[in-house]
Amino acid sequence: MNIIISHESARPMYEQIEDGIRRAILNGEFKNGDMLPSVRQLAKDLNVSAITTKRAYIDLEHEGFVYTVSGKGTFVRLDKLSQLQDSRERELLERIGAAADECMRAGIEKEKVLEAIEKAYGQN
């Protein structure tokens, strides 16, 4: 798992950690039940506080990507992965729809919106 933290980013570090772990899970780097690094170990590896890492693990647990066994560690949960992906996709598409509505009300041409989306996809 390769997580890169930018200390200059406007995004909080715990969100950057969440994104990195989520991306690794969705890309198949983990199997169901695989153990994640301990909070302390990941914090040390990323040069962040253990509190920051713990926050990321808690958020991922609330989203259903991981589960924690007290005294044992944090483990990947893939049994609900397709539901999580579908839910996330619906949420993101709704946000795009809301942004498109706002652009339309602001008088921005459809071609410019599509161009912005194409540009954003090209950067990744």
The count of other CB atoms within 10 Å of the CB of residue 74 is: 23
- What integer pLDDT is reported at residue 45 of this predicted model? 95
Do 67 and 112 share a structural domain? Answer: no
| pLDDT > 90? residue 4 | no
User: Do β-strands 73-76 and 66-69 pair in parallel, antiparallel, or remain unpaired?
Assistant: antiparallel
For the segment 6-48, what is each residue's pLDDT rounded down to a tens digit? Answer: 888 899 999 999 999 988 888 888 888 999 999 999 999 999 9
What is the domain range of residue 94?
Answer: 81-122
Q: Domain count of the chain?
A: 2
- What integer pLDDT is reported at residue 60 of this predicted model? 94
CB under 8 Å to 53, separation ≥6 — which residues? 14, 17, 39, 40, 42, 43, 46
DSSP state of 33: T
Q: What is the pTM of this model?
A: 0.68
Please give the single-letter amino acid code of residue 15.
E
CATH for 21: 1.10.10.10
Q: Of 76, 91, 111, which one is at a domain's C-terminal end?
A: 76
| pLDDT > 70? residue 124 | no
Q: Does residue 17 lie within any of the structural domains?
A: yes
Distance between first and last Cα of the chain: 18
The count of other CB atoms within 10 Å of the CB of residue 86 is: 10
Do 87 and 70 share a structural domain? Answer: no
Do 86 and 60 share a structural domain? Answer: no
For the segment 57-116, what is each residue's pLDDT rounded down to a tens digit? Answer: 999 999 888 999 999 999 999 877 677 677 778 888 998 999 999 999 999 999 999 999
Q: Does residue 8 lie within any of the structural domains?
A: no
